[in-house]
Amino acid sequence: MANELQHYLIWTFTNEVKIPADVEDLLVPGERPVCAYSTIRDVAIFTDRRLIVRDAQGLTGKKVEMYTLPYKSIDMYSTENAGHLDVNSEVELWTRAGHIKINLKRSADIRKIDKVLAAFILG
């Protein structure tokens, strides 16, 4: 039996930021942005339907890679933190496309992200 190669993405969210004005160009009719987090090179936006991660590429950052993760494709997720002693928390998502890990810096509120995921995955 051959081993299947599982995709494994790792993103890092540093802190909550204002929802970028240009996100409206990415949304479908009726979709609304909920919150946004800065990433190492760009921004991640949680909407009421999906997670959008923009990742600037190259030295100039003019090339942009976009990831869209519809909540309906998430089979399971977990959150982990060690309370006030831990400088980082993490969210893991198991999806139809593979496994995604989101590292959160101390300034990113893991409980808020947990509530957003629960509301739209379970709701």
Q: Does the pLDDT of residue 5 top 60, yes or no?
A: no
- C-alpha span between 123 and 116 (Å, rounded): 10
Domain ranges of the chain: 8-122
For the stretch 58-117, pLDDT in tens is 666 678 888 999 999 999 999 988 665 556 799 999 998 899 999 998 888 889 999 999
- Show contacts of 35-42: CB within 8 Å, 24+ apart: 35/112, 35/116, 37/13, 37/108, 38/13, 38/14, 39/11, 39/12, 39/13, 39/14, 40/12, 40/14
- pTM for the model stands at 0.85
Q: Please, what is the average pLDDT of the chain?
A: 87
End-to-end CA distance of the chain: 38
What is the architecture, at CATH level 2, of domain 8-122? Roll (2.30)
